[in-house]
A and B are shown apart, each in its own frame.
Chain A
Amino acid sequence: MAEVLVLIDHVAGQVKKPTYELLTLAAKLGEPSAVYIGGADGAAGAAEAVKGYGAEKVYVIDDAQIKGYLVAPKAEALAQLAGTASPAAILLPSSAENKEVAARLAIKLDSGLITDAVDLDESGVATQSVFAGNFTVKGKVTKGTPIITVKPNSAAPVEKAGAAAVTPFEVTISDAAKTAQIVASQPRKASGRPELTEAAIVVSGGRGTGGDFSAVEGLADALGAAVGASRAAVDSGWMPHTFQVGQTGKTVSPQLYVANGISGAIQHRAGMQTSKTIVAVNKDEEAPIFELVDFGVVGDLHTVLPAVTDAVKAAKG
């Protein structure tokens, strides 16, 4: 069976959940091989982690020549690996950087590219959600090695023992690939909450919060949820841009999305419309967000949310 390469999503060797989802999808297409690009010290931990999700091989690419630069060296490394492994497909977790890595890789390998898949079947047909979530498109790569970036929450990770044979892979990075350099980097402070795109529950606030997110954060913490925001809230400087849900922010597809003081503009819907259950609290009964909801409360978020938070805490004991 041909290998299917899965790029591991990790921070310093700590493997993130979307990697397991991709390994699960990869097993439908062939034999999953995980690809670790990172520091040597994180490799063993990453290999151990992916072993539990069916990775037969773990290619380890030392990032000494890669980190500190953008995109291009990673694309070169993956192209060289694809040259020797001849994979049936290459799957990458959908992130801004990985989509660009995939873009360069597609040109290098003269192969087709599908981005932001939300599902993948045995025959390589990928499902995408397009036009603000209003359409579902099914498509397939028909030339070269299919390169597919997959969104978080696209599959339920299936635990399965793999051999996870660690295979170091030497790459040669050209000088040309090292011309855009990271000059300074300020790591984001950990919020202690789940990652927005991976969370099972997202509680968001918009302009209707008036800048006070405490009620939104209170409910989020009671539910163990991530916090999101509309662009109006971000543009007002109330929340950092990384919290933005929508067309120019994150697309989320959680089990539960709670929109508070958000009107429901098309660009916001684009980022949350495929959530399984949608709830809104808005004081305007005419707000378009109510067209989407499974349950809506017409009311003031500053009184409704604290009361719901208390009820959640009471129920959880």
Chain B
Amino acid sequence: MNIVVLVKYVPDATADRQFEDDFTVDRVNVDGLLSELDEYAVEQSLQIKEKRDGEEITVTALTVGPQAAEAAVRKALQMGADKGVHVVDDAIAGSDSIATSLVLAKAIEKLGPVDLVVGGLASTDAGMSVVPAMLAERLGLPQVTLASVVETQGDQIRIKRDGDVATEVIGGTLPLVLSVTDQSGEARYPSFKGIMAAKKKPLETWSLADLGVDAGQVGLGAAYTAVEETAARPPRTAGEIVTDEDGSGAKALAEFLASKKFI
């Protein structure tokens, strides 16, 4: 069984994230890391492998991103993925979701028959939550997404998800695309042994040419959407802060709410 886990390299959310002059995300001057939400995808991929002890299962971590994005694959290998693929090409810079999903789909096809593609709930930078569905469409596969519980048996998968209107159990037959939420269970930390072992694991670097993708199909120039303006939100001006003493805080708050016509 072949599992491909999608790992995105993102700027650290706790750092000062910025845009470049061309409105693309500054991915160089801000420290990056494996998107925390993709750690859950790695974790579930590894758990599926562990639960199906005795089967031949390969977990491949795949990223599309700049040079530094290799760190996202490395982290997945340290956690326990078997091999890694990093698609990197200058032409990819500034790609939108349409182009990103195209490159990911071509890379998955090149990896050969895949049983399960596992992604996260959303990236922690753009956070569109669309790439897994786009991949399913491109690969002609079903999707079971936003799982908080995942169970597989043979070629069957069952997931639980907490939707807005209902809690659902969803069933599907492999091959398919799966995405998991941060409710699916804590992701493991790489162990010392894992970190050492990762150094010897295969990590391939592919270019667009390796995938047979024309450079004109991707990147900022080929995007289906154009950003016209980015603006930092004006910082909120500090409001009034009172310290409660014997009910004075509640009184002041009630007066504030009344002054704003909320009561």
Q: Which of B156-172 contact A (CB under 8 A)?
A: 158, 162-172
Q: For the complex, is A104 an interface residue (Cβ under 8 Å from B)?
A: yes
Q: For the complex, is A311 an interface residue (Cβ under 8 Å from B)?
A: yes
Residues of B within 8 A of A102 (CB): 130
A265-291 vs B, CB cutoff 8 Å, 1 = contact: the mask equals 011000001100111010001000011
Segment of B13-21, B48-56, B200-208 in the binding face: B13-21
Residues of B within 8 A of A136 (CB): 230-231, 233
Residues of B within 8 A of A176 (CB): 140, 142
Nearest B residue to A251 via CB reads B127
B263 touches A312 (CB 8 A): yes
> With the chains together, A293 CA to B257 CA distance in Å?
13
> With the chains together, A103 CA to B130 CA distance in Å?
6
Residues of A within 8 A of B182 (CB): 248
A180 touches B172 (CB 8 A): yes
Q: For the complex, is B28 an interface residue (Cβ under 8 Å from A)?
A: no
**Interface residue tally for chain A (C-beta within 8 Å):** 89
Nearest B residue to A274 via CB reads B233
Q: Smallest distance from the beta carbon of A237 to chain B beta carbons, Å? A: 12
A240 touches B162 (CB 8 A): yes
B238-263 vs A, CB cutoff 8 Å, 1 = contact: the mask equals 11111110010111111011101011
B250 touches A308 (CB 8 A): yes
Segment of B63-71, B76-84, B95-103, B187-195 in the binding face: B95-103
A140 touches B240 (CB 8 A): no
A99-B129, A181-B171, A315-B263 known; A294+B253 contact, CB < 8 A: no
Q: For the complex, is B45 an interface residue (Cβ under 8 Å from A)?
A: no
Segment of B1-9, B86-94, B108-116, B218-226 in the binding face: B218-226
Q: For the complex, is A81 an interface residue (Cβ under 8 Å from B)?
A: no
Nearest A residue to B243 via CB reads A298
A247 touches B227 (CB 8 A): no
A279 touches B241 (CB 8 A): no
B253 touches A281 (CB 8 A): yes
B130 touches A223 (CB 8 A): no
A141 touches B173 (CB 8 A): no
Tell me the A residues contacting B by CB distance below 8 Å: 11, 70-72, 75, 95-97, 99-104, 106-108, 111-116, 125, 129-144, 176, 179-188, 201, 223, 240-242, 247-248, 255-256, 266-267, 273-274, 277-279, 281, 285, 290-300, 303-305, 307-308, 311-312, 315-316
**Interface contacts beyond A104-B137, A297-B241: sample of 16 additional A-B pairs, CB < 8 Å, sorted by A:** A70-B142, A96-B163, A112-B96, A136-B231, A136-B233, A137-B23, A138-B228, A139-B227, A144-B224, A180-B144, A181-B172, A188-B165, A256-B257, A285-B241, A295-B252, A298-B249
